[in-house]
Amino acid sequence: MFELFYHPIYTYGIDKNSTFPRDRYKMIKNYLDEQKIIINFQKPNLAKFEDIILGHQEKYVTSFIHGLLTEKEKRRIGLQPWNEHIVNRTRYILGGSIGAMKSAIERNNIAGNMAGGTHHAHFSYGSGYCIFNDLAICAFKSIKDYKNINKVLIIDLDVHQGDGTASILKNHRNIFTFSMHCENNFPLKKMKSDLDVPLTKGMKDNQYLDILQKNIKTLKKPKFDLVLFQAGVDILNKDSLGYLEISREGIKNRNEIVLEFARERDLPLVVFMGGGYSKPIQHSVDAFVDLFIQCSNYANIIN
Ligand SMILES: [Zn+2]
């Protein structure tokens, strides 16, 4: 069964006056419950300090946890105004990602976090709604804790480049970073992933899916042991922060390509939510619901 980590703090940990579409988490959860989608929901644990510093500078982690970041550092992250839950929200989201990583490896199946994919968080600072980089931390922790995990592949298909992930992991040859994103978009300064595929503004389904297929086929070597999938839906034509023109159906096809990649190789797969900022937010919610239904079906097939 598909194990999906979720905590109500994903929503209430963001202030109601923030412009960030915080309701998306609870809307997705409600819909999946109403439709009785077969999902084993799991409550995350708070991420431990020792795990957070696998991917970050201790000084930055301590400053954030103790509320000592400067206004400038907070502005770079966004999500303002911050309420009293922001620290626990951040630690629960990372805990959800770590929980999903463990679940996927130990059951050799698919698991996910209904948040996370915080790929703009760098070693010593946060940025673009991202505070701790769960992709990098999960990659490090999986190799550290599991003897059978030696090579990790990160597939980042959010519309924005996974700059934080690329910079944290740049000297780690056992973790391969693949980012396919819109070239004219945040972050202004791109970092170097192992494989970057920048796309032109306005790209539509057919071309997008062709390029993805071609590039994913090149990921044959080395032989990977784990896939981390940042499944941002801000490539959607209705997104307010993306500049691609991918349809809801196109995103489902994209997801299928990644699921198929893991299925063919019998690899554990962890799904992270990533961005989705349509106005109204319902379009992003629909695309995320599609994703989690696909994950649920996938888990049932390979069981
Ligand atoms: Zn994004």
What's residue 206's pLDDT? 98
71's tokens: 């206004």
241's tokens: 């922060």
CA distance 103 to 273: 16
Q: Output the CA angle 130-99-231, nearest 5 degrees.
A: 50
Residue 157 has pLDDT above 80, yes or no: yes
In tens, the pLDDT along 253-298 reads 999 999 999 999 999 999 999 999 999 999 999 999 999 999 999 9
Q: What is the domain extent for residue 162?
A: 2-302
Residue 24 has pLDDT above 80, yes or no: yes
Task: Indicate the pTM of the whole model.
Answer: 0.98
Q: Output the CA angle 151-153-156, nearest 5 degrees.
A: 165
C-alpha to C-alpha distances, 151 to 176, 257, 267, nearest whole angstrom: 8, 20, 11
Domain count, the chain: 1
In tens, the pLDDT along 166-216 reads 999 999 999 999 999 999 999 999 999 999 999 999 999 999 999 999 999
- Ligand 1 centroid–CA 230 distance in Å is 10
In tens, the pLDDT along 47-106 reads 999 999 999 999 999 999 999 999 999 999 999 999 999 999 999 999 999 999 999 999
Peptide linkage before 280 cis (omega within 30 of 0): yes
Residues in Cβ contact with 160 at an 8 Å cutoff, skipping those fewer than 6 apart: 119, 120, 128, 181, 182, 185, 186, 187, 232, 234, 241, 242, 275
- Ligand 1 centroid–CA 217 distance in Å is 24
CATH number at residue 37: 3.40.800.20
- Ligand 1 centroid–CA 186 distance in Å is 8
- Ligand 1 centroid–CA 158 distance in Å is 5
- Ligand 1 centroid–CA 118 distance in Å is 9
Residue 303 has pLDDT above 70, yes or no: no
